[in-house]
Structure 1
Amino acid sequence: MIKVNRIVYAAFETPDLEGQIDHYTKIMGLTLVERDGDAAYLSASADHHTVVLRKGSDARCNALGFQLPPGTDLGDYDKQIQAHGLATERRSDAQPNIKDALIFADSKGTKIETFVEAEAANVGFQAAGISPNKLGHVAYNCTDVQGDVKFYCDVLGFKVSDWMGDFFAFLRCGPDHHTINLVQGAKTKMHHIAFELRDWSHIRDACDWLAKDRIPLVWGPVRHGIGHNISTYHRNADGQIIELFCELDRVNEELEIYEPRRTHQEFPQKGKVWDDIQLAANMWGTPPPDGFLD
């Protein structure tokens, strides 16, 4: 089975293109590498783009970009995806740096844009703004969490790292504990996008950057039980939640155990269903605000 290798970018539609560009450049510290009409491409450092913004009537995340392993034959991958009964589209120059891509929809309607090769931007890290290491993961509310988990595992090759009860799944496509989160909700929509920071001091400095623009935290700082990362959450210009995190668990795939950390509850720590919801959500105790998972 050909599996996706890593998440590269998230693409958004926004009614406030300038406001979103402003947030992602001045606050988040991404670099605007290209502007094409009503589309903007922003990079965290190496990849040509980490976030794509397009002018639209609604604020939503409508596509995710995943890279396939080097040497993958995109035609073979196309056949693999079609074998699941999915309609695919082979597109040339789908993105400014991607010459050949295979595009299809996941079980909840989000476009999945897959590719093998992409030209790097090599812009490096901004000196100003939060300037994250990389895009870490994207979380979605969905109406059929079990069905969507099955899709990501069976079609894209993800593995389940942990479950919070039976309503919140954490999935990975590489050594990071999670790349996609799926949580049961009343309707399908992106819940948050998450960026990795260097360490706890970077989290502190990020909060100071947010404070300069009078952007309050929605929740945090917290230490999640699942994944054991330290995180904060705030809203961007479209009201979408952005998570900033560090110290996320990494998985030894051969042994299927997590690299040991002092914050673990078990040694070795392995994937499981967490029944202690409060511990799973925040080891430091403060629960999420009312309606946070809606």
Structure 2
Amino acid sequence: MTPVKIRKLGHLILRVSDVEASTRFYTEILGFTESDRNEHGYVFLRCAADHHVLGLAPAEEIIPLPDKSRRQRGFDHCAFEVASIEELIEIRDFLRARDIPIVFEGRKGPGCNPGLEFLDPDGYDVEIYTGMDQIGWDGRTRPKEQWRRVRSLEEAAANPVHP
């Protein structure tokens, strides 16, 4: 039996040919609000309290993955929320026991959510995460110096970010 208990589809990241044009479209036409940008040119957009529900990534950025790199426009990854970092650790161990390679684990930056990423049978990147930053009534996001990137779930658990 799987230990994965998905609470919701958390976010979707798209690779786009023109980040600025896409940002204008999703903000001016669909009403999303920009939360943050990172040093790789990603724009993180929200429509409610979650730090981001949609991310826009430049298609030309090269990110090596097993058997491919992300250079073209289209789907980058989807992310599903679970309840806790303890669940993430259990899920990671479950995936490893089934020889499903982990592409990333830890905490990346904007949103400050610990997570793990792996590939489905068709090579799509799937993220499972917990603890996404929430944006309050004032619309302010966490300052970049508080993102606290880490490369393991244990390190994320030992070094949590605080509101």
Structure 1 stretches lacking a partner, 5+ long: 1-126, 259-268, 287-294
Deviation, 1:138, is: 0.5
Deviation, 1:194, is: 0.2
Deviation, 1:167, is: 1.3
Higher RCO structure, 1 or 2 (CA under 8 Å, sep 6+): 2
Deviation, 1:193, is: 0.5
Q: Is contact 2:3-2:87 (8 Å) kept?
A: no
Aligned sequence identity (%): 27
- Tell me what 2:79 maps to: 194
1:283 aligns with 2:157: no
1:163 aligns with 2:37: yes
- Tell me what 1:238 maps to: 122
1:172 aligns with 2:57: no
Q: Is contact 2:32-2:47 (8 Å) kept?
A: yes
The amino acid across from 1:256 in the alignment is: G
Q: Report the aligned-residue RMSD.
A: 2.1
Deviation, 1:129, is: 4.3
Q: Is contact 2:3-2:90 (8 Å) kept?
A: no
1:256 aligns with 2:139: yes
Q: 1:132 to 1:192 in 2, by over 3 A?
A: same
Distance 1:182 1:225 in 2: 15
Distance 1:190 1:129 in 2: 26
Secondary structure of the 2:55 match is strand
Q: 1:166 to 1:284 in 2, by over 3 A?
A: closer
Distance 2:140 2:17 in 1: 30
* Structure showing greater Rg: 1
- Tell me what 1:10 maps to: none
Structure 2 stretches lacking a partner, 5+ long: 61-71, 153-163
Deviation, 1:162, is: 0.3
Deviation, 1:285, is: 5.7
Matches within 5 A, 1:34-73: none
Secondary structure of the 1:146 match is helix
Deviation, 1:169, is: 0.4
- Tell me what 1:184 maps to: 58
Distance 1:159 1:174 in 2: 9
Distance 2:85 2:40 in 1: 31
Distance 1:207 1:165 in 2: 28
Matches within 5 A, 1:146-161: 146-161=20-35
Distance 1:133 1:285 in 2: 24
Distance 2:140 2:55 in 1: 19
The structure with the greater share of residues assigned to strand is 1
Q: TM-score, normalization: structure 1?
A: 0.45
- Tell me what 1:211 maps to: 96
Q: TM-score, normalization: structure 2?
A: 0.78
Distance 2:75 2:3 in 1: 24
The amino acid across from 1:188 in the alignment is: R
The amino acid across from 1:175 in the alignment is: A
Deviation, 1:139, is: 0.4
- Tell me what 1:227 maps to: 111
Distance 1:217 1:166 in 2: 22
Distance 2:5 2:149 in 1: 27
Q: 1:143 to 1:150 in 2, by over 3 A?
A: same
Distance 2:109 2:47 in 1: 20
